[in-house]
A and B are shown apart, each in its own frame.
Chain A
Amino acid sequence: MTPPVRIAQLSCGPEYSGIQHEIDAAAREVGGEIFFPDVALKDIRRDFDKFGLDVRSPDLKLTIARAMALVEGRVEADAVFIATCFRCAEAAIVRNELRRYIHENSKLPVVSYSFTERTTSGTLLTRMEALTTIARRRALLARETQQGITLGVDSGSATTKAVVMKDNRIIGTGWQPTIEVIKSAQEVIAHALQEAGITRDEVQAVGTTGYGRFLVGREIHADLIQEELTVNSKGAVYLANRQHGPATVIDIGGMDNKAISVMDGIPGVFTMGGICAGASGRFLEMTAKRLGVDITELGPLSMKGIGGRVPMNSYCIVFGTQSLVNALAAGSTREDVAAAACHSVAEQVFEQQLQEVDIKEPVIMVGGTSLIEGLVFAMGELLQTKIVVPPYSQYIGAVGSALLVSGFIKDD
């Protein structure tokens, strides 16, 4: 039996928030085991003083001491989960600084999260799965070329994608909105196979990722079912041809956003936001609908406008859309409104998520929203860098999956 991945929890407040059992359950579900690094009371003061961040909360002092014990090798772990109360400024500072400290001084994968009493194990599952994958499957994640004939399926919340790869080339693709999870998957697979000109029997290995990965994976007998954080990172650096050195991957999805700090194709620090629809691709879909254009036309339209001309008073998907409607009623052009919507989404991701990872160039944007030029432009403006959008970026999960699963091809 494979031993569980030992995940060190550095936290303040989860027990009194009533969610410790949710954290434990999420870790257990993906073969992980939460533990609290053992430190002596007398060592807390010493380590806390040495770290130099003068916080007041004793549990944050304990958290700092535990982080130092991990980095200095006094306590061993496979991964680190940092969690503090949402809306606590003191804890947010500690969370960020510890995440950076551990990332810079160790090889431990880290994920940080701010919780409320409503946090459930389901919310944490993908993050925990990514932690255990990085810890357990480093060899698999080190794969740089695709071999044989493989199929990757990304069953996302908004769209389902499939890719057929052969000898390190993409030879077939399929894409459609997710309606019925399995049916949508079967249809995109059929399309990708047809485009590739091969039969299902010729496929040597199959991988799935995305929200529907387990359901689809079971249905199509996938060899690899893996969360989208590690798969998308791998797909992004592979397609952008940046497999070595640092990179930052941004994936603004239909339901949640991912920001991932990558080193040699392996995620080090990552965040996943999914609380606010105003920061998602869904908001851009609604904007396109309101402007009477297809989502594929929103990008070119926004590039002709100036977002700053449209007052956006809310990040909320409902009130934000209302701002856009008001602007149109007040005479703003569709181009300006489209640009303002793109800027709003980019700004929210920048403010809420990109502060939690270390931005290192190249910054690679992937996922369907990376095809909306206005969004990529807005993100580039905010980050003051040229964003890389690799070819097939909308198929990122499917490509990552097809690449990684080639490690599962059995030699005949």
Chain B
Amino acid sequence: MVKVFIYPATSLILSDMVARFGHTPLSSATAIRERIQTAGLESAPLQITPDEPKKGLKWAAVEVPAGVRGRMSLYGPMIGECEAAIIINDADLAFGCMGCARTNELIKFLIHQKEIPKLELYYPKNEEEGVKFVAAIKRFLTELGASK
């Protein structure tokens, strides 16, 4: 069983696929809803306190916006813990998204820095790409299991 960080961390589909292949998804417990009635697209499930942006200083300096540091206090430890990662670029909002582009850049950079198995894909634009997309993820997750 491998701990797999998924990006976007709010993707329930990715999280579910990782779990089905017997691995542990490292992700956010937030789903993107069809109607947005919260402050952000992926509002935190728990109350974030002003201490979280301070904890985030481990990953981003004080001149980095508080919202980035607050997010990093949640995702930074997951990135530290992960043994593999799946990154989906340019995903549709409904597939899963994270509200802050600057945080997203930092998260992807930190994952790229880690010497772990990674799968990086672009979100499919049509059915044919969709089939290849799912197959690539399945293959990656299967190989992860075999290597373990």
Q: A-side interface residues toward B, CB under 8 Å? A: 9, 11-21, 36, 38-42, 44-45, 55-60, 62, 85-88, 90-91, 115-118
Contact = CB atoms under 8 A, between A and B. Distances in A.
Nearest to A65: B36
B136 to A, nearest CB: 24
A41 B53 CA distance: 28
Counting from the closest, the 9 A-B pairs by CB-CB distance are A13-B67, A59-B99, A85-B65, A16-B70, A56-B101, A17-B66, A18-B50, A117-B53, A57-B101
Nearest to A87: B65
A88 B105 CA distance: 14
B100 A86 contact: no
Interface of B: 32-41, 43-44, 47-54, 63-71, 93-94, 97-102
A62 B43 CA distance: 12
Contacts of A90: 101-102
9 contacts: A19-B50, A36-B39, A38-B35, A56-B101, A57-B99, A58-B101, A59-B41, A90-B102, A117-B70
Given A13-B66, A38-B36, A38-B37, A58 B98 contact: yes
A185 to B, nearest CB: 35
B50 A117 contact: yes
B37 A36 contact: yes
A115 B53 CA distance: 12
A118 B50 contact: yes
B36 A39 contact: yes
Contacts of A55: 101
A168 B140 CA distance: 80
B66 A86 contact: yes
A59 B65 CA distance: 14
A62 B36 contact: yes
Contacts of B70: 13, 15-18, 117
A41 B36 contact: yes
A86 B65 contact: yes
A88 B65 contact: yes
Contact of B100 (A44, A59, A115): A59
B16 to A, nearest CB: 19
Contacts, number: 129
A16 B67 contact: yes
Contacts of A58: 41, 93, 97-101
Contact of A16 (B38, B64, B71, B101): B71
Contacts of B99: 12-13, 16, 57-59, 62
A15 B47 CA distance: 8
Nearest to B53: A117
A21 B93 contact: no
A56 B93 CA distance: 12
B101 to A, nearest CB: 4
Nearest to B43: A15
Contacts of A39: 35-36
A62 B49 contact: no
A12 B67 contact: yes
Contacts of A60: 101
Given A40-B35, A44-B93, A15 B98 contact: no
Given A41-B93, A57-B101, A14 B35 contact: no
A38 B39 CA distance: 10
Contact of A18 (B35, B51, B98): B51
A12 B100 contact: yes
A45 B63 contact: no
A116 B57 CA distance: 13
Contacts of B34: 40-42
A18 B53 contact: yes
Nearest to A85: B65
A91 B39 contact: no
A90 to B, nearest CB: 7
Given A15-B40, A41-B94, 10 more contacts: A13-B70, A18-B53, A41-B33, A41-B35, A42-B34, A57-B100, A58-B99, A88-B68, A116-B66, A117-B50
B10 to A, nearest CB: 10
Contacts of A21: 47
A19 B53 CA distance: 10
A12 B97 CA distance: 14
A41 B66 contact: no
B47 to A, nearest CB: 7
Contacts of B49: 18
Given A41-B93, A57-B99, A90-B102, A62 B40 contact: yes
A19 B39 CA distance: 12
Nearest to B71: A16
A36 B38 contact: yes
A88 B97 contact: no
A17 B48 contact: yes
A176 B73 CA distance: 49
A176 to B, nearest CB: 38
A45 B93 contact: yes
A18 B52 contact: yes
Q: Which of A42, A90, A117 has most chain B Cβ within 10 Å?
A: A117
A85 B41 CA distance: 16
